[in-house]
């Protein structure tokens, strides 16, 4: 673990150097990706994320229910056996497809769970960027009408 820590430190030192040299900005990883979150369809978001047309991969697992009792809270998790550096959750039929994205530094597991809103039954995409390459998996989540409806 110590070694891992050190390598991370070294990495961030290099990163910092690059930043101070003006090669990249340190805020880059932090800055909210407005274009991606405002992208309407799947393809728009893929393009903005630099994912092109990601390959479907068995290495990516999307943990999501088959049926959501309520679209306001849909639990979605991504795990992957690939060395993920970035992950994203997209909902095809939401007004803006991208729901959330995550950056996974070394030492953090390629695992994340959150909860999202879905306006209607839709395909949900789990994207993973590993070794510079985007992979994905897809699953349909049914959103049901519940309660007395009043």
What's the min distance (Å) between Cβ of 81 and another protein?
Answer: 15
Residue 21 DSSP label? T
66 binds another protein (CB under 8 A): yes
> For residues 147 and 69, what is the distance between their CA atoms, to the nearest angstrom?
9
Stretch that binds another protein, among 17-25, 48-56, 131-139, 140-148 (CB under 8 A): 140-148
Among 92, 100, 138, 139, binds another protein (CB under 8 A): 100
> By CB under 8 A, how many residues form the interface with another protein?
54
Rounded to a whole number of angstroms, the distance between the first and last alpha carbons of the chain is 55
User: Is residue 44 classed exposed, middle or buried when 0-12, 13-18 and 19+ CB atoms within 10 A define those classes?
Assistant: middle
131 closest CA partner among 67, 57, 65: 57
> For residues 26 and 31, what is the distance between their CA atoms, to the nearest angstrom?
9
Residue whose CB is less far from another protein, 99 or 135: 99
Residues of this chain, 1-60, that bind another protein according to CB under 8 A: 1, 4-5, 8, 12, 29-30, 32-33, 37
> For residues 71 and 50, what is the distance between their CA atoms, to the nearest angstrom?
29
Stretch that binds another protein, among 16-24, 52-60, 129-137, 142-150 (CB under 8 A): 142-150
127 binds another protein (CB under 8 A): no
C-alpha torsion 78→43→98→31, nearest 10: 100
Residue whose CB is less far from another protein, 32 or 132: 32
Site residues (CB under 8 A) for another protein?
1, 4-5, 8, 12, 29-30, 32-33, 37, 63, 65-70, 72-75, 77, 91, 94-96, 98-105, 107-109, 111-119, 142, 144-150
């Amino acid at each position: 673990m110590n070694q891992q820590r050190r390598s991370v430190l070294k990495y961030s030192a290099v990163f910092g150097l690059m930043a101070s040299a003006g090669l990249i900005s340190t805020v880059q990883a932090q800055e909210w990706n407005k274009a991606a979150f405002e992208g309407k369809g799947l393809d728009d978001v893929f393009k903005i994320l630099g994912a092109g047309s990601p390959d479907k991969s068995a290495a990516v697992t999307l943990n999501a229910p088959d049926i959501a009792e309520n679209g306001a809270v849909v639990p979605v998790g991504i795990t992957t056996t690939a060395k993920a550096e970035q992950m994203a959750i997209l909902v095809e039929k939401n007004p803006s497809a991208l729901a959330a994205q995550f950056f996974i530094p070394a030492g953090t597991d390629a695992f994340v769970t959150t909860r999202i809103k879905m306006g209607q039954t839709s395909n949900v995409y789990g994207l993973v960027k590993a070794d510079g390459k985007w992979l994905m998996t897809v699953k349909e989540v049914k959103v049901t009408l519940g309660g007395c409806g009043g």
